[in-house]
Amino acid sequence: MTWPSHFPPKCPPEKAANLDGQIYRLISGNFPKKKDFQSYCLQYPNRNWGGKTCQACGLSVHTSLEDCLENYNRLKRRIPSLRKKIAVARGNNAMGKILNTPSKEDSSHHTWWLPVELEKPWELFEVVTF
């Protein structure tokens, strides 16, 4: 796998595993689009990420629908106008690396680092309906 040139050295970290299994991501519209798969590093290139630069180069995902729903509901309580959808993809080794990167509020948060070979990740996702 080849990593994007904007990734810092040793990113993704050695302890990150090959992606294998379903991953869930919050998206902005009715179907996954390119803009839903831009890392914070690319969205805010002049921001100082400090010790979290590598994590900011990846994307936030969850490995279970229940955890993603819990995160969505937590965000919805803080931002009542939130209009996000949940999208799911079946991951495989060619899709990059993943690591559990918990936060204070979300112990099940994972960071997913996409290799340059994965040019259109949004095409691998579909919206979850329930």
H/E element holding 112? Answer: strand 110-113
The count of structural domains within the chain is 1
Q: Is the pLDDT reported for residue 103 higher than 80? A: yes
Cα gap 86→22, rounded to integer Å: 12
39-49 confidence digits (pLDDT tens):
999 999 999 99
Residue 7 located in a structural domain: no
Predicted local distance difference test score (pLDDT) of residue 6: 94
Q: What is the pLDDT of residue 130?
A: 65
Domain span including residue 63: 17-127
Sheet strands side by side (includes 110-113): 17-18, 97-100, 110-113, 59-61
Residue 105, pLDDT score:
81
Domain presence at residue 36: yes
The answer to the question of residue 103 being in a domain is yes
Spatial distance between the Cα atoms of 26 and 34, rounded to a whole number of angstroms: 13
Which of 97, 87, 109, 113 lies closest to 30, judged by CA? Answer: 87
Which CATH number belongs to the domain containing residue 97 in this structure?
A: 3.20.170
Residue 12 lies in a domain: no
Residue tagged 């949940």 (tokens): 86
